[in-house]
Amino acid sequence: MRRLMRYIVVLLALAIATPRLSAQELVVGADFTTLFDNTEFSPMEHYDSETLFSARLTPKIGVKWHNHNELIFGADMVQDFGHNSKFLSDVNVEMYYALKHPKAKLFAGIFPRKEMRGLRSPIYFDPAYLYYNNRIGGVLARYEANEGRSFIEFAMDYTGMRDFETRESFMIMSAGKYSVAWFKAGYDFLMGHYAKDYNPATWDGVVDNIMLTPYVGGEVVAGPVDVDIQLSFVQSLQRDRIMENIWESPRGCDIYAAVSGWGVTLSNRLYVGKGLYSYFSRYGSAVYHGIPHYAISKGRGNIYNVITASYSKLFCDDSIGLDAGITMEYDGKGWGTRQWLKVSVMLDYGIDLKKDK
């Protein structure tokens, strides 16, 4: 409660000080999301069944000047349903500078993760991780061309402070896409570094996790129906410097196909190859943030398949979003399912502060 009050005081102070900044526009807004995410993965190997049900509110305020520059401050508040022992389950801060040019984007500070366009594959980030870790602390730079269909971007997310509990943890990420007519090609890249302590009794050491995913595919629009096909090659390099201190290099192929129309999407994602998370049994989600099923063990068929039916739509001038779906998943050992429902509200207002004479 005290943390929330401090954030509110800072928001009010910024609002009072804003007219003195010779700004052109006061930016006021709020994002709201409620998420129900239920997994039934007991027959599968690496993922426990769980239900996530919570609400998030992110009020924000800031200034905008020279059309492209923004300075934003916000409070990110999460309440897990049924978590009655606390007024709020978690409260964090957003504060960042943004340059938003038609062809160039730059973010610095603590900003929404949704501003990054790349690394959308669940190989990199589990939907639950994205919900509870919805911010990047660092920088993001992107250049866009071909009316935004082609881009290249770079980001750094510093996720662990250098202290006695978590000495250092960060991710360097990059993505690029070239699109012309129906053809597309691109890549996703992540270099993760995790360092905890040197105590052999805890098995925590220094881990490097590198993942590169070049891909080719096609996107065809036929009236209200979209067809998306993508073939990716996944190459990983991983090393635990304290334990084995040798490089592991699991690799595989990921095939994605989807048909969308009228807000409904039917898709299938198939991964065939080695388990991509070599040290998952040792470090788990502290090092690997993707779907744990990609940590396929030897003798499990080296396959992971996901069949998805979903509905996603924006209403009220794109201010209200509805996203719902269900998956059927197989990891070579057993079948599981995931169901989710997400309702989002996105409000932004601009108030002119610099009147023309």
Give the pLDDT score at 23: 47
Distance CA 205, CA 260 (A): 45
pTM: 0.88
**Maximum Cα interatomic distance, the chain, rounded to a whole number of Å:** 75
pLDDT by 10-residue block (mean), the chain, 357 residues: 52 48 77 95 82 94 91 95 81 95 96 96 93 94 95 94 69 97 97 76 77 97 94 96 88 97 97 92 89 79 92 94 96 92 89 56
CB–CB of 311/264 below 8 Å?
A: yes
Report the chain's terminal Cα–Cα distance, integer Å. Answer: 45
DSSP 12: H
Give the pLDDT score at 19: 46
Give the pLDDT score at 284: 87
CB–CB of 189/169 below 8 Å?
A: no
Distance CA 74, CA 59 (A): 6
DSSP 11: H
Distance CA 110, CA 101 (A): 19
Long-range Cβ contacts of 199-202 (<8 Å, 24+ apart)? 200/242
Q: Where are the alpha helices (DSSP H) in 118-192?
A: 127-132
Give the pLDDT score at 298: 63
Distance CA 139, CA 217 (A): 29
In the beta sheet, which residues pair with residue 62?
27, 72
Give the pLDDT score at 50: 87
Which tokens go with 159?
């996720």
Q: Note the residue count of the chain.
A: 357
